[in-house]
Amino acid sequence: MIIPSSIVLATAADVKTIAAMSRDTIEQGLPWRYTPARVAKLLNEAEVNLIVARDATELIGFGAMRYADEEAHLHLLAVAPARRRSGVGAALLRWLEESALTAGIGIVSLEARVDNQAARAFYVARGYSEVAFLRGYYLGRADGVRLSKDLFGSAS
Ligand SMILES: CC(C)(COP(=O)(O)OP(=O)(O)OC[C@H]1O[C@@H](n2cnc3c(N)ncnc32)[C@H](O)[C@@H]1OP(=O)(O)O)[C@@H](O)C(=O)NCCC(=O)NCCS
């Protein structure tokens, strides 16, 4: 289990690694949207938290959540393949959810590819419900599913 203190806000030094990991682990088969320029923009947006998980030597995961008045949207979440199933993803998501709660936001939503069984299982295990099927959501090349969680009504 990762220790919470190893999760911190991303810095400009993390941008290239986050963009490359996004391309390789989230956006495979699609045009690269979270390029270094886009990630740098995300980093500087006041309503977005972009966080990273680190071990002693490297970045092992990251997440980005946008906070609106009453809802938050998870844009990015990924863990390095060799570090999965050890609680890193859950720790990143918990950090972002706790920030939403601190801001008085109770609803978090996100989209995942229908064929991303690992992510869908991960979010359902974290209390998310699949609320919509999104045909052709990813540029018409892949279907999506929207998931949502009511943080106020959830124990986790
Ligand atoms: C989804 C992802 C972030 C999960 O990160 P992780 O660090 O492996 O997740 P955790 O170790 O915190 O998993 C917590 C729980 O989620 C569920 N879970 C996670 N990965 C799972 C999988 N591949 N299959 C089934 N359940 C899974 C399990 O219940 C797990 O608990 P357990 O290991 O005790 O069984 C990771 O698989 C990933 O980076 N995937 C590629 C990028 C991606 O798809 N991001 C989401 C885009 S919407």
Reading the block at residue 44, the tokens are 């500087």
Determine whether the shortest distance from the Cβ of 122 to ligand 1 is under 6 A: yes
| 84 Cα to the center of ligand 1, angstroms | 7
111 Cα nearest atom in ligand 1: 48
Distance CA 63, CA 151 (A): 18
pLDDT at 2: 53
pLDDT digits (tens, 9 = 90+) for 113-136: 999 999 999 999 999 999 999 999
| 34 Cα to the center of ligand 1, angstroms | 21
Domain-by-domain residue ranges, the chain?
Answer: 6-150
- Are the C-beta atoms of residues 117 and 96 closer than 8 Å to each other? no
pTM: 0.95
**Which of 91, 114, 84, 97 shows the shortest CA–CA distance to 149?**
97
Determine whether the shortest distance from the Cβ of 118 to ligand 1 is under 6 A: yes
| CATH architecture designation of domain 6-150 | 3-Layer(aba) Sandwich (3.40)
**63 pLDDT exceeds 80?**
yes
User: Residue with the nearest Cα to atom 19 of ligand 1?
Assistant: 122
